[in-house]
Amino acid sequence: MRELFDVRLNSDDRPMSQAELVEAVRTAQVLVPTVTDRIDQSVISQAGSQFKLIANFGNGVDNIDIEAAARKGITVTNTPNVLTEDTADMTVGLMIAVSRRLVQGAERIRSNEWKGWSPTWMLGRRIWGKQLGIVGMGRIGTAVARRAKAFGLSIHYHNRHRVSAAVEEELGATYWESLDQMLARMDIVSVNCPHTPATYHLLSARRLALLQPGAIVVNTARGEIIDQDALIKALQEDRIAGAGLDVFESEPAVSPDLIKLSDEGKAVIIPHMGSATLEGRQEMGDRVIINIRVWDDGHRPPDRVLPGRT
Ligand code: 8YV
């Protein structure tokens, strides 16, 4: 970025304050935010006329008010594709970690509790042969399904639109128009849709109550898609068997109740690291630079995010 543009870097990685963001949109032409920077209506309304592009370093754009940006003629881009496989890997990792008690087992060794193999110790639940319900069959959901098929899971999905017959056939996937009906029948539910006003608390208290007692819920998308308080209650009351969470409502705050549930082995919680690979981060940076460069050359950048299309 330094070679190509006149840049001001936030080199200590600290999330920028709203005042710093306002200062940036008043002076720069381009802003490169991350998930921790809230570019809301108030920030956008204070942008100067020179401010033209928000090149988000990330796939999800729920940190940006896309409509407000469009109204002001500001282009928004993101970094799709390059974090699909890493996020899908982490999703399957969480399914296994929760079902097979990976973190709990590792902890037992660290706390010197392992006194030797025994036939009934640390029993988890088998993954092979179970039903996986994917909420959101976009790029990441599809990548999860491909992996899950190899793990012997049967694939079910709910999505705004049915995917092509060819993809359904490749994955052996069953489409559920009714999310409620799918949830009631699944052993594992994976949340892979974007966070939008339409998906806020999509897994509501009512929907979580539809899950089977043996079900586990995995979320590598956004915390806001699940009613976190209702999820905690369902775990505490053993109405579901477990949760694997990479994302939380109100990050980086993590509810003490969730930490307690993780101590009890009912939840595996990790700090928003679904896409955290060195390769992924470099490719995200490449996408950001390509988008800025194409825009700077006077063309439409490849990863434009349009209102209503997330
Ligand atoms: C990113 C993510 O690393 O891309 C996303 O949507 O959730 C993360 O994995 C983050 O958004 C960076 O801004």
pLDDT tens readout for residues 50-94: 999 999 999 999 999 999 999 999 999 999 999 999 999 999 999
Same domain, 71 and 126: no
More confident residue, 120 or 309: 120
Nearest CA, atom 11, ligand 1: 58
| Active centre residues (catalytic) | 222, 251, 272
Q: Which of 10-14, 139-143, 164-168, 173-177 has the lowest mean pLDDT?
A: 10-14
Mutate to test the pocket of ligand 1, among 76, 79, 83, 191 (most ligand atoms within 8 A of CB): 83
Average pLDDT of span 230-259: 98
Same domain, 117 and 231: yes
**CA of residue 35 to ligand 1 center, whole Å:** 6
- What phi and psi values does residue 257 have, to the nearest 5 degrees? -65, -40
Same domain, 151 and 188: yes
Model pTM above 0.75: yes
Same domain, 159 and 56: no
Average pLDDT of span 139-149: 98
**CA of residue 7 to ligand 1 center, whole Å:** 22
Q: What kind and span of H or E run contains 147?
A: helix 139-150
Of 103, 245, 97, nearest to 255 (Cα)? 245
Q: What is the CA radius of gyration of the chain?
A: 21
Ligand 1: lining residues by beta carbon, under 6 Å: 34-35, 57-60, 83, 274-275
Asked whether residue 259 is assigned to any structural domain, the reply reads yes
Which pLDDT value is given to residue 49?
97
Asked whether residue 204 is assigned to any structural domain, the reply reads yes
Mutate to test the pocket of ligand 1, among 35, 57, 66, 272 (most ligand atoms within 8 A of CB): 35
Return d(Cα 306, Cα 115) in angstroms, integer. Answer: 58
Which pLDDT value is given to residue 199?
98
Q: Are 58 and 303 in contact (CB under 8 A)?
A: no
Q: In 162-269, at which residue ranges do the beta strands (DSSP E only) sit?
A: 174-175, 188-191, 216-219, 242-245, 267-269
CATH code of the domain in which 36 resides? 3.40.50.720
Same domain, 117 and 218: yes
What is the number of other CB atoms lying within 10 angstroms of the CB of residue 111?
8
Asked whether residue 67 is assigned to any structural domain, the reply reads yes
Number of folded domains in the chain? Answer: 2
Return the SS3 of 14.
Answer: coil
Asked whether residue 264 is assigned to any structural domain, the reply reads yes
Of 234, 251, 269, which residue is a domain's last?
Answer: 269
Which pLDDT value is given to residue 310?
61
Same domain, 133 and 253: yes
Provide long-range contacts, Cβ within 8 A and 24+ apart, for 36-45: 36/63, 37/63, 38/63, 39/63, 39/64, 39/65, 39/69, 40/65, 40/68, 41/65, 41/68, 42/18, 43/18, 44/68, 44/69, 44/72, 44/74, 45/72
Q: What percent of the chain has pLDDT over 90?
A: 96
- When pLDDT is cut at 50, 70 and 90, the band that residue 112 belongs to is very high
Same domain, 103 and 207: yes
Same domain, 140 and 256: yes
Return d(Cα 154, Cα 125) in angstroms, integer. Answer: 16
Same domain, 90 and 216: yes
Residue with tokens 């193999």: 117
Average pLDDT of the chain is: 97
Q: Are 1 and 289 in contact (CB under 8 A)?
A: yes
pLDDT tens readout for residues 182-235: 999 999 999 999 999 999 999 999 999 999 999 999 999 999 999 999 999 999
Asked whether residue 92 is assigned to any structural domain, the reply reads yes
Q: Is the peptide bond between 33 and the residue preceding it cis, with omega within 30 degrees of 0? A: no
Asked whether residue 2 is assigned to any structural domain, the reply reads no
- When pLDDT is cut at 50, 70 and 90, the band that residue 150 belongs to is very high
pLDDT tens readout for residues 229-240: 999 999 999 999
**CA of residue 146 to ligand 1 center, whole Å:** 22
Average pLDDT of span 266-290: 98
Same domain, 162 and 242: yes
Asked whether residue 172 is assigned to any structural domain, the reply reads yes
Mutate to test the pocket of ligand 1, among 16, 90, 272 (most ligand atoms within 8 A of CB): 272
Same domain, 77 and 90: no
**CA of residue 108 to ligand 1 center, whole Å:** 32
Asked if pLDDT for residue 309 goes beyond 80, the answer is no
Which pLDDT value is given to residue 308?
79
**CA of residue 249 to ligand 1 center, whole Å:** 15
Asked whether residue 8 is assigned to any structural domain, the reply reads no
Nearest CA, atom 6, ligand 1: 60
Domain that holds residue 186: 84-269
Same domain, 253 and 104: yes
Residue type, 209: A
Q: Are 79 and 284 in contact (CB under 8 A)?
A: yes
